[in-house]
Amino acid sequence: MEKVLVICDDLWHPAEVIEKGLAARTDGRFSFDIVKAAKDILTPERIAKYRLIVCCKSNNVIAANTAPWFEAGVTEVGPAELEEYVRAGGGLLVIHSGLAYNEERCPEYVQLVGSAFRGHPPRCTVHLQAALPAHPVLDGVPDFVIRDEHYAMEMTCEDAQVFLESRSEKGGVQPAGYTREIGKGRLCALTPGHTLDVWEDERFQRLFTNAAEWCMKER
C-alpha cells in the first residue's frame, strides 16, 4: 500500500472534507498521512520520503489561523522546496483549494502549478468532460456531472496538457484537469473537490487514483 502525504485545511476548505473523502475510498490502494499545520511539520527531508504529495490547501496555516502558510524565513517547505521535490522525481497532485492561488498572493506557487485562480460562481451544477479522451488520467473515467464550486482558472504555463474541462451555466468552460512534467517529476491538477459528495463520488475517486498513479509514473 502506497503511503501518500496529504496537505490540507484552510479557512474555506476544512480538513474534515478531505479526511472523510479519503476514508470513503475502499480500494486499499493508498494510505494517507494527513498534515494540517504544514508550516511547523514539513521539512524538505520529510517530504522526500514520499513518492506522492497531494496538496488540498490554500495559503493559510490552518482553518483557524489565516496567516500565510508560506512565510519567508519561517516556512521550511514553500513553493521553491515543492518545486525541488518535483524536479528531483517526486509527484505532486494538486486538488481544488490547492489551486486557489493568484499572482498577488503567491506568484512562486502559481509558477509551480502553472495556473492562477480567478474566482468561482456560487456552488452549482458542473459538467466534467474529456478534453483529451486518450489521456491516461481519464482511463475508465466517463464524462460526469457534479454539484461543486466551479473554479475559473487561467493557465499561466505553455507546457500543460489540459485533459479535462468543466462547464457550468455561469462559469462557462474552464480547464478542470491538466498535467505537467517538471524536471524528473510530474504534476497533475484537478479543480473539483470542494464538497464531500464529490470526494465520495466513484468517478472522482477513479480520477484521483489515475492522477496519483500518473504522478508516480505508473501510468
Report the CATH number at residue 106.
Answer: 3.40.50.880
Question: Which residues in the chain show pLDDT less than 50?
Answer: none
The bridge status of strand 172-182 relative to strand 161-168 is antiparallel
Number of domains in the chain: 1
Q: CB within 8 A of 189, min separation 6: which ones?
A: 93, 94, 95, 98, 99, 113, 114, 115, 177, 178, 179
Q: What local confidence, expressed as pLDDT, does residue 1 receive?
A: 87
Residue 134 burial (C-beta neighbours within 10 Å; 0-12, 13-18, 19+): exposed
Domain encompassing residue 156: 2-215
For residue range 132-181, what is the model confidence (pLDDT) as tens digits? Answer: 999 999 999 999 999 999 999 999 999 999 999 999 999 999 999 999 99
Q: What local confidence, expressed as pLDDT, does residue 105 receive?
A: 85
